[in-house]
Structure 1
Amino acid sequence: MGVSVMALAQIKSPYEFLPTYGKQITHYHQVEEYFNYLTTQTPYVKHQKYGETSEHRNLNVYYISTPENLANLEQIRLQNLASIGLAPKNSATVGDKLIVWLSFNVHGNEWAGTESALSVAYELANPENKTTKEWLKNTIVILDPCINPDGYSRYGNWLREISGKNTNPNKFDREHAEEWPGGRYNHYIFDMNRDWAWQTQIETKQRMAIYNQWMPHVHTDVHEQGYDSPYFFPPAAEPQHEFIEAYQKDFHKLLGKNIAAKFDANNWMYNTSERFDLFYPSYGDTYPMYNGAVGMTLEQGGIRAGREITMENGVNLTIKDRLTHHKTAVLAVVETSASQIEPLLKGFKNFMNNPRTQMKGKYATYILKNNPKLNQLADLLKINKIEYSYATEKSNASGFNYFTKKDENFSVEPNDLIVKVNQPKAVFTQILFEPTNKMTDTLSYDITAWNLPLAYGVQGYAVKNALNLKTKNVAETASKSIPKTVYAFYVPWNNRTSAEILAQLHQKEIKVRYAMKQAVFGDVTIEPGGLMIARGDNPKIADFENTVAEIVKKKSDFATISSGFSKNAKDLGGENFPLMKAPKVLLLSGNGVTSTEFGAAWYYFDEILNYPVTIVDQDKLRNVKLFEFNTLVLADGRYNFSDADMKRLNEWINNGGKVIAIDGALNVFDGKDGYTLNPYATDEEKQAAEKAKKEKELKERFLDSGNEERRMLANSIPGAIIENNLDITHPLSFGLGKKYYSLKTGDKIYSLLKGSNNVAYVPKNYKSYGYIGHDFGKKLPETVSFAVESKGAGKVVYMIDNPLFRAFWENGILLFSNALFLVN
């Protein structure tokens, strides 16, 4: 159905369409209604639903351009991909078009973003706005008004419920004190702005699928920050990754001048080149930058502002102010982009196609040795459109060993995973795999290392030359035939799939044993941690072979044995194979618990394992019958247990309960009677540390204040990878390998515990990747990262580092699974 001429001249603005626009938060369904209105009333807007959230809200993008461009959208998309080798070339062309992607509200409570998206869309689509129509002649705008509808709706429902008829700008009003866990995060309380590369969340997976189908040339990520902060726009701060190109930085400078002129004309406060850097690869500005686009962050002051708040300077900040600032800046992005089509397209194609530009690091090939954990690593490469293959023959090579940090000779063998730099996603490939990412400044906003071989716990090598290897697209797996009679099934314990299978077996009440030491049955070698499902333990399963095979088949390395008699005196019915008990898990939430770390644990149980977990707010713990559970998970946070709570907890542990305590939750046991957890091994060590601290404070009296922030960095670790020695005989280490590389994001340090199992600890001359403060680095040797203390019949698992951090540290997921299932 066509759009009438009258309609074209009378498009309603969001102020006309929505009665409370600019005064109160817009319901998400109203956001969709307004965009639906624009889609039906003007030929300049086209809608695509690209997915759903965990709470089944729509994820939408809106294409805004001229009717002619919208009619040729698919051809424009394919032509762009073909220009960088990600699609076949087609003889028919429609002329180069610039693709500008606008993303709003990845953080749900930064709601001025979505509000401004309505005004931005109106100005771009309004036929009476001749200026924006000029921009759109050769520009496709892809507008995502709300990346995080679940968080936005959580915040919006709360704000509307507690809002009065009149605004109250007093910062102590409840409108400015959002309740736990807040609307910043998605359904599983993840910060999706840190998830672009890892794509652990359903919203990110679906969004990145369509992003990689388009590969835009400019991407704008619209945010809010503390309400007293002036507006931030590019240029970005240092550190900026050395792989970022000059054309990207040049555009930032040009854009900054353009936005500044518009803000100056209105006397609006702003800053550039501060705080928001371009280093960590999983942000909404860096991921586009490393994929050839010009990515950027826009930040308006507004978090905790509610509808109106009085700032430090005495000026009241309203929602209308915030959305207007955003609208102005975002439209300036489109305007500047449209004026720079030629240099942007040239820079983008050069970034993706030019061998000189692509080969930025030291290495041309990355080899990942055959390992069951490669399944998850291959999945990550696939969703990021990074090409990889598998070796089909044996060959000798020399390269950098990620685990030893040395150049070594090694053998390439069939089914080793091969990643070549020479591919369209060359730069992003190097960002993920280069052993060392150079930092131009230590004031980083996020973690500073993310080496994939270490994150996944697979042996990896970086090779300087392009190896001439015969490869195949899919790894070979031997087909399995199930014997008519099986004594027991064996499932190796070596990746997250092992834990997923065990979770399913427990829920089906199928009895499982696991190996404490290596055992050999015929030609099958059982490694420590290996799961054994024996017919003798499960006499009530009528069709034992088919029932168990159906569950374990998702692990191609499962095996069967025909006898419980072992070749090395480790028979299946002996003490080497204890029966496992199904965890009955209690997870605490609520005020005091770090919301994202709670979310990581919840996501682990709900989405990774699909295993039942009971969630209770910590202030309701007194109402819980603890003896209905055998496992208590305490995510990072502040736990204010009463003396009565602690007495009950101690009794429960002594009677067989298990606590898994992470990061800040260690304070529940730190220095408490009956527990060995302590930052210092001896009183002398504590006194020496206190003496050194006092001496340092005396020296610092003479130092200037201007460099105070940088001096603080010397005793910090924003996020680095640290080598750990493993006690490979302890169940907490099973399946991890000979070494464990931990992602350390906090400054907690504990001495090796006395009378406990120090399963993973930092050796004297530890290896590391990423930034570690000079003073902090000196404290790390011979400190514990993961330990297990026995108390009565129970256990406490101490996790100084969080192995579930952002759900992308695959070897950490296995470590946590060890704590959950194997430590008893």
Structure 2
Amino acid sequence: MRKPLMDFCWKCPIPFLLFTKLIPMQKTILYLIFTLFLSNLALAQEEYYFPGEKFDPNIPSPSQFLGYPIGDWHTRYDLIVKYFEKLDQISETAQLQTIGYTHEHRPKVILTIASAKNMGNLEQIRQKQLQLADPSQSKPDVSTMPSIVHLGYGVHGNEPSSAEAAILTAYWIMASQSDLAKNLRENMVVHIDPTLNPDGRDRHSLWANSNKGFPPVADPLDREHNEAWPGGRTNHYWFDLNRDWLPLAHPESRVKVEWYHQWYPNVTTDFHEMGTNSTYFFEPTKPFGSENPVVPRKNYDDINPRFAKYFAKYMDEIGSLYWTKEVFDNSYPGYGSTYPDIHGGLGLVFETASSRGHLQASQRGDISFAFTIRNHVVNSLATMEAALDNRVYLHDYLREFFESAAAEGGKDAAKSYVFGDEFDDGRNRLFVRFLLDHKIKVYENSADLTVDGQAFKKGKSWVVPTNQPQYRMVRTMFEYVKEFADSVFYDASAWTMAAAYGMPFAAAATAKSGTEITTVATPEFTFPEGKAYAYLIDWSDYYAPKILFELQKTGIHVEAIHGAFSSQTQDGKVEFAAGTMMIPMGFQKLKAEEVSSKLKELAAKNGQKVYAVQTGLNLSGIDLGSNKVSAIQQPKVLMVVGTGINSYEAGEIWNLMDQQLGMPFTKINTEQFGRVNLHDYTTLIMPSGNYNTLSEGSVNHLKDWVNRGGTIIAMKNASLWLNQKGITKEAAVELADAPKDPEVLPFDTRNDFEGAKEVGGSIYLAELDLTHPIAYGYHRNNLPVYRNTDIFIAPSADKYLTPVKYTANPHLGGYISKTNLEKLKLSAGVVISSSGQGRVVHFFDSPNFRGTWFGTNKLFLNAIFHGDNMD
């Protein structure tokens, strides 16, 4: 083991090279002075966070290891990991595990802490916990089972106090000599995730440390407290990972949920920060209005109040103010504090007033970083004490939860849900894998079925029975909810994941199923032999745009067939829809064998069926040389990002282009827009945002580019700006008999009354014009769409250019006010505006929402690849 000095001398202000040149006596004196300095520093720190406690001197405190008191700096994530590695090295009561990596390849770690005895039996403890959560197995003796607590911190990167609290909490559990700490070590297994969002944390830590003043500046206007766009809240792709426990769009969440299902913790924490002028929030959340409909009342009415008493006691002891019950949402299943509630555990959200830096002025005086950290430390300790005191109770509840879930599922009128898209194998595989990731049992459909007028073919559809332990997650995936106890939502009010994947599905009164699916198999692949006049690839599969881009990148010429037809192929007569790709062998720069070889490779990689035809004369419909067949221009795409732009929406687009399409594109900040030659690009994406900073010259250049044939893809209020600048001329929906607000209302109702007018996130049924290029690849004219805006635009004055509009009864799930619903019925989902030789494709829904609306991604990708044919 290294000497303590060598652990931190490289972080010391004295250069290491100077230290090595000192004579032995000087080294000894310096060593003693420096060790004494850090010992005093550690004692002072421990007294602030843990007054009156004694600690094991063999375990280095965070301040000893890092060389500064916790709260003086924002600790980089790699140093947090190194401290945890040190704890793992020096003690048999700690074990560090890397469960995965972020987009930026930072390790996702879990530090497990327990007594030496329990660490030696860790796998047996885990297996017993899994047995407890499985009602098909006998219930183990819970009286001897340790409590399983998962302390999760820092899902928002610029809410940094929680990760610092994680370091201190880990140290306290391992080193404290208090009776409570000893009891916890003997009767609990604690898993600490110090930072759920390492990429965002380091982005914010760099900002806060780089802009720190000496002394710190408390003025909220100081640069330190106002991050540059997009800020550190989100991950690499600017996603809010606190919403990703359900969608699993990112590796951080996928590995975390995979780990969660290996343990089923009794308690899971989720530590956050809020406005500087706030105090501290802990659960319970807002009764009924913020609660998830599938979670048993016992969670909200009994367990939460039990724990709240501990939080109040600990906060009272340090004199910190706090509040409960008023707001904060526990309804959306994708939160780190809600997902555990749907799995037999207790999820807990905590929010502390934020210093958003090292020191910031508030209405109660200056808030220090150390103060915010201490609030989270004491509630970490309170959580563990509450879990310890209620150990047997929580184990019994875990068992009861899954037993009652299976029992409720057995009584459900819907004995199963049947789903599947016979035209899109790629999206089917994505959804089946998604269900399996959430430990939902899925079976092959053993026979052709017709349910509620929908046909589900054997081999192209699957069955999810309701009588299973994950019944409540099954409801989450397939149920639409329209009735709510409240009309104000902190987040999305709808989350039906089958709709997000665009899956045809139906509830069946009888459960018939074949073999259980445990993995998603790679589809069998065959390639037509011999020469071909042309190759055809159906555009229906989710990954068809990906193979198109890859074919174009290799120099293969691809055309689109803008009409339905049937051809004689190696499989006989095959019907093809508009949008089908054609690779004509007589118009290739590459040699025929090169084209065939590359096509075979890319088709196998992307799971695409390739058809060969020997003639351009089709069996029916248009022929392959028709004027309705045109070359697909290889897109060169530019997207506006930066100050004023909605980073979430921009990140969703970036994630789609990178992770699903694999296509590089250019992102340019708003302040650089004036230096761009738009004529170097085919397509401009404008996410929602404020574009008023663009100069008059930039606007004129944009108008000229569009008029000369460019395609703009405009999202929501970007469309309003284009209208304002005269580039488009679309009209807002006006209700002739719209109800008026009361002239006078009580002041304290303002938040509820105004909040009820918002469309926070809900699901609607849209009607597609299947002949329009925006709908290429779709085979049903009805499609669930996600909307989180109250912008309502009327259908185009051109009767051909509203390819996506809402049905007469569009509301599928989530909250919407009556007035907004009436506006929605009269509005459009997608409108095309002609502008000279170019066009604007307006999206008023969210086709790429949270990286999981696979059912509507194709609309957006069609605008990229087929935009020049849309008007």
Q: Same fold (TM over 0.5)?
A: yes
Q: Deviations over 1:501-536 (max 9, x none)?
A: 112112112111122111111212111212122212
Q: Does residue 510 of structure 1 match 2:556?
A: yes
Q: Deviations over 1:625-663 (max 9, x none)?
A: 211111111111111222111110011011111110111
CA contact (8 A) 2:130 2:264 kept: yes
State the one-letter code of the partner of 1:234: E
Q: Which moved more, 1:241-250 or 1:767-776?
A: 241-250
Find 1:655's aligned residue among 708, 727, 742.
708
Aligned to 1:139: 188
Residue aligned with 2:723, SS: coil
Superposed displacement of residue 569, structure 1: 4.3
Aligned to 2:748: 706
Q: TM-score, normalised by structure 1?
A: 0.92
CA contact (8 A) 1:490 1:533 kept: yes
CA spacing shift, 1:104–1:482, aligned 2, 3 Å: same
Distance 1:61 1:464 in 2: 43
CA contact (8 A) 1:359 1:427 kept: no
Residue aligned with 1:811, SS: helix
Residue aligned with 1:60, SS: strand
Aligned to 1:405: none
Distance 1:492 1:423 in 2: 37
**Structure 1 gap ranges (5+):** 402-407
Superposed displacement of residue 91, structure 1: 11
Matches within 5 A, 1:466-615: 467-471=511-515, 473=517, 480-522=526-568, 523-543=573-593, 544-553=595-604, 554-615=606-667
CA contact (8 A) 1:370 1:417 kept: no
Aligned to 1:33: 82
Residue aligned with 1:26, SS: coil
Q: Does residue 750 of structure 1 match 2:793?
A: yes
Superposed displacement of residue 79, structure 1: 2.3
Distance 1:8 1:484 in 2: 76
Superposed displacement of residue 443, structure 1: 2.2
CA contact (8 A) 2:683 2:711 kept: yes
Aligned to 2:777: 735
Distance 1:476 1:521 in 2: 27
Q: Does residue 779 of structure 1 match 2:823?
A: yes
Matches within 5 A, 1:372-383: 372=424, 373-383=427-437
Superposed displacement of residue 754, structure 1: 1.4
How many residue pairs align between the two structures? Answer: 800
CA spacing shift, 1:291–1:517, aligned 2, 3 Å: same
CA contact (8 A) 1:290 1:431 kept: no
Distance 2:131 2:69 in 1: 45
Find 2:160's aligned residue among 111, 115, 125.
111
Aligned to 1:223: 272
Q: Does residue 621 of structure 1 match 2:673?
A: yes
Q: Deviations over 1:124-183 (max 9, x none)?
A: 111523311202322111100011111111111111111121111111211111111101
Distance 2:591 2:126 in 1: 54
Distance 1:203 1:476 in 2: 24
CA contact (8 A) 1:489 1:558 kept: yes
Aligned to 1:365: 416
State the one-letter code of the partner of 1:205: R
Q: Deviations over 1:300-325 (max 9, x none)?
A: 111x6311111123x21111111100
Q: Does residue 644 of structure 1 match 2:689?
A: no
Distance 1:602 1:539 in 2: 31
Q: Deviations over 1:726-780 (max 9, x none)?
A: 1211100122331122101011111112136111112333343211012211211
Alignment root-mean-square deviation, CA: 2.6
Aligned to 1:210: 259
Superposed displacement of residue 81, structure 1: 1.7
CA contact (8 A) 1:170 1:310 kept: yes
Superposed displacement of residue 334, structure 1: 0.9
CA contact (8 A) 1:108 1:148 kept: yes
Aligned to 1:15: 63
Distance 2:140 2:456 in 1: 44
Residue aligned with 2:833, SS: strand
Find 2:179's aligned residue among 126, 130, 135.
130
Aligned to 1:312: 363
Distance 1:106 1:807 in 2: 17
Find 1:346's aligned residue among 378, 387, 396.
396
Distance 1:92 1:351 in 2: 17
Residue aligned with 1:317, SS: strand
CA contact (8 A) 2:561 2:629 kept: yes
Distance 1:819 1:8 in 2: 63
Distance 2:429 2:597 in 1: 25
CA spacing shift, 1:532–1:604, aligned 2, 3 Å: same
Q: Which moved more, 1:701-710 or 1:718-727?
A: 701-710
Q: Which moved more, 1:171-180 or 1:126-135?
A: 126-135
CA contact (8 A) 2:407 2:467 kept: no
Residue aligned with 2:157, SS: coil
Superposed displacement of residue 709, structure 1: 2.2
Aligned to 2:212: 163
Find 2:290's aligned residue among 214, 217, 239.
239
Distance 2:136 2:533 in 1: 51
Q: Which moved more, 1:445-454 or 1:591-600?
A: 445-454
CA contact (8 A) 1:240 1:440 kept: no
Superposed displacement of residue 595, structure 1: 1.1
Aligned to 1:803: 847
Q: Does residue 387 of structure 1 match 2:438?
A: no
CA spacing shift, 1:488–1:392, aligned 2, 3 Å: farther
Distance 2:176 2:747 in 1: 55
Aligned to 2:495: 450
CA spacing shift, 1:395–1:795, aligned 2, 3 Å: closer
CA spacing shift, 1:542–1:394, aligned 2, 3 Å: closer
CA contact (8 A) 1:487 1:564 kept: yes
Superposed displacement of residue 87, structure 1: 10
Superposed displacement of residue 361, structure 1: 5.7
Aligned to 1:121: 170
CA contact (8 A) 2:603 2:609 kept: no
State the one-letter code of the partner of 2:719: L
Aligned to 1:404: none
CA contact (8 A) 1:3 1:41 kept: no
**Structure 2 gap ranges (5+):** 5-53
Distance 2:861 2:430 in 1: 16
- Using the aligned pairs only, state the percent identity: 28
Q: Deviations over 1:527-550 (max 9, x none)?
A: 121212221232523423222111
Superposed displacement of residue 450, structure 1: 2.2
CA contact (8 A) 1:242 1:438 kept: no
Find 1:666's aligned residue among 700, 704, 719.
719
Q: Deviations over 1:769-793 (max 9, x none)?
A: 2110122112111211111122222
Q: TM-score, normalised by structure 2?
A: 0.87
Distance 1:453 1:652 in 2: 40
Superposed displacement of residue 360, structure 1: 7.9
Q: Does residue 425 of structure 1 match 2:467?
A: no
Superposed displacement of residue 256, structure 1: 0.6
Distance 1:734 1:299 in 2: 46
CA spacing shift, 1:647–1:382, aligned 2, 3 Å: same
Find 2:759's aligned residue among 702, 717, 721.
717
Aligned to 1:820: 864
CA spacing shift, 1:741–1:190, aligned 2, 3 Å: same
State the one-letter code of the partner of 2:435: L
Distance 2:783 2:626 in 1: 30
Matches within 5 A, 1:59-208: 59-85=108-134, 95-208=144-257
CA contact (8 A) 1:101 1:218 kept: yes
Distance 1:222 1:360 in 2: 37
Superposed displacement of residue 471, structure 1: 3.9
Distance 1:767 1:60 in 2: 42
Residue aligned with 1:707, SS: helix
